[in-house]
Amino acid sequence: MNAWKTFYDRFVQAQAPGLQVEVQGIPNAEYLPKLTAAIVGGAPPDSCRFKENLNNDMAARRNALALDGYLAKDKALRLADFTPSSVEALTYRDKPYGVPHYHQYVILGWNKTLFKQVGLNPEQPPQTWTELRDYARRLTNPDSGQWGFKLYEYGPPAREQQFNWFMEWVWRAGGDVWADKARTRSTVDAPESVEAMQTMVSMIAGDRSTIPQDQPQIAVETGKLAMWMPTAVGVLNLKRTAPDLDFGLAPMPRSTQFATQLQVNSLAIMASAPERDIAWAATAFVSQEEQMQAWQADQELSAVPVRKALLDKAPWSDPASGWKPIIDVLKMPGGRPKPHIPEWDEFTEKNLCPFLLDAWTQVKTPKDALTEAARQANAWIAAHPRT
């Protein structure tokens, strides 16, 4: 938290001498209970950093403040300067409820040394699911404990991120998990969803090229993992933790089309914040281009920018930094924000993820698991009408 506080201290020095700013870091599992207790107890924080789904849950509960009024008055901060997907992700009922903070998404990583050992071009990762399966089989060596591929996360326990990245695979198969833009009916059992799940299950149980849940989930640093799904923010840590690892980064392979879920964190202001104006002034200050460039380029806080102008500035534009293939994915057409319906965590973790886990562990066939997931999801939606 000291690294974050540095930038709020700059705000104090520049615009609010004498102000005391407290920054608290709360683990994800404790975040919502503590925040809810603070709001109910009449002592909310002035500003919060949220994942987009929680940002919009707070908007739906009227606990977050719509920022259109502040944005209309503040000519120095324009949402048009941010990536369209980050702005869309933080818009609830046509109003902005957060200022985009940084992006997060999943890409493909591959071990170039292992590619060379089996005769694959180390500069050419798989482009399609067919190539992904073929490469993973060729790169798997049970005798040496080497695996061809590792999925991002497939529990247990059930967690909303499992549904998020599964949804990406459905998009890359040309499908969607919703019947309409209003997201009033789940189509997680559509043919494209079954195709996506069957591909993964075939790699786990048929090809035996992908690490199953009951096997040790080996780290990239071991040099025995040929392909994996790193997050764009965390993958460059390998340059420090495994300096001798020769690896590449690229978009995830597709079935019919490119698609990536461009997740985003927000800076939001609580509706009951005692110091709304100061909270906005601080948010606007740390969201300035020069401030964002400073903290997002900081090695301890490095992040994928949400300001469009920063994508073409150092270190993100510097080929030697390793950022270029990550930023290239962000710039590709087909990137989409995470969809939202109120109570997203509960909706996904109780009604969808358990059935995804059933399919990945072969408790149910992909079709049966996804049929049950759709039935459960739509029953939940019907029982939670939106007002």
Separation between Cα atoms, residue 86 and residue 344, nearest integer Å: 18
pLDDT at 320 > cutoff 90: no
pLDDT band at 160 (very low <50, low <70, confident <90, very high): very high
Q: Is the Cβ–Cβ distance between 226 and 110 less than 8 Å?
A: yes
Give the pLDDT of residue 301: 73
- What is the rounded average pLDDT of the residues 107-112? 97
The predicted pLDDT at position 84 comes to 97
Residue 175 has a pLDDT of 97
Nearest C-alpha neighbor of 330 from the set 100, 97, 48: 100
Does the structure show a pLDDT above 90 at 340?
Answer: no
Mean pLDDT of the chain: 93
pLDDT band at 124 (very low <50, low <70, confident <90, very high): very high
Q: Going by DSSP bridges, is the β-strand pair 335-336/260-261 parallel, antiparallel, or unpaired?
A: parallel
Instruction: Read off the tokens for 321.
Output: 């930094």
Q: What's the rounded mean pLDDT across residues 205-229?
A: 94
Alpha-carbon separation of residue 356 from 188, 290, 360 (angstroms): 10, 43, 6
Whole-prediction pTM: 0.94
Q: Which CATH superfamily is domain 2-102+263-332 in?
A: Periplasmic binding protein-like II (3.40.190.10)
- Per-residue pLDDT, averaged over 117-144, amounts to 97
Written as six digits, the tokens of 227 are: 């392909």
How is the chain split into domains, by residue range?
Answer: 2-102+263-332, 108-260+341-383
CA distance 225 to 149: 7
pLDDT at residue 328 tops 80:
yes
For the CA atoms of 38, 44, 47, 50, the dihedral, rounded to the nearest 10 degrees, stands at: 30
Which has more pLDDT, 233 or 371? 371
Q: Where are the beta strands (DSSP E) in 60-199?
A: 91-92, 95-96, 99-104, 108-111
> Kindly report the CA angle at 53 between 172 and 34, in degrees rounded to 5?
145
Using left for φ > 0, alpha for ψ between -120 and 50, and beta otherwise, residue 287 falls in alpha
Quote the percentage of the chain above a pLDDT of 90: 78
What pLDDT, on a 0 to 100 scale, did the predictor assign at position 1?
Answer: 61
Element (H, E) at 264: strand 263-269
In this structure, of 183-197, 199-213, 222-236, the range with the lowest mean pLDDT score is 222-236
> What whole-number percentage of the chain has pLDDT above 70?
99
What is the pLDDT at residue 8? 85
CA–CA separation, 229 vs 213, rounded Å? 15
Using only C-alpha atoms, the chain has a radius of gyration, in whole angstroms, of 22
Confidence category of residue 97, pLDDT binned at 50, 70, 90 = very high
Q: How confident is the model at residue 16 (pLDDT cuts 50, 70, 90)?
A: confident
Q: Please give the pLDDT value at position 167.
A: 97
Q: Rounded distance, CA 290 to CA 295, Å?
A: 9
CA 339/CA 263 separation, integer angstroms:
10
Closest C-alpha among 81, 9, 96, 17 to residue 50: 96
Q: What is the pLDDT, as a whole number, of residue 228?
A: 97
Is there a common fold for 2-102+263-332 and 108-260+341-383?
yes
Give the mean model confidence (pLDDT) for residues 79-91: 97
Q: Which residues lie below 8 Å from residue 82, measured CB to CB, with a gap of 6+?
A: 99, 100, 306, 307, 308
The pLDDT score that the predictor gives to residue 360 is 96
Contact 107, 252 (CB under 8 A): yes
**CA angle 116–121–127, rounded 5-degree value:** 130
Alpha-carbon distances of 346 from 8, 124, 261, rounded to whole Å: 33, 40, 20
Give me the mean pLDDT over the 86-99 stretch.
97
CATH number corresponding to 108-260+341-383: 3.40.190.10
Q: What is the pLDDT of residue 21?
A: 82
Per-residue pLDDT reduced to its tens digit, 178-198: 999 889 999 999 999 999 999
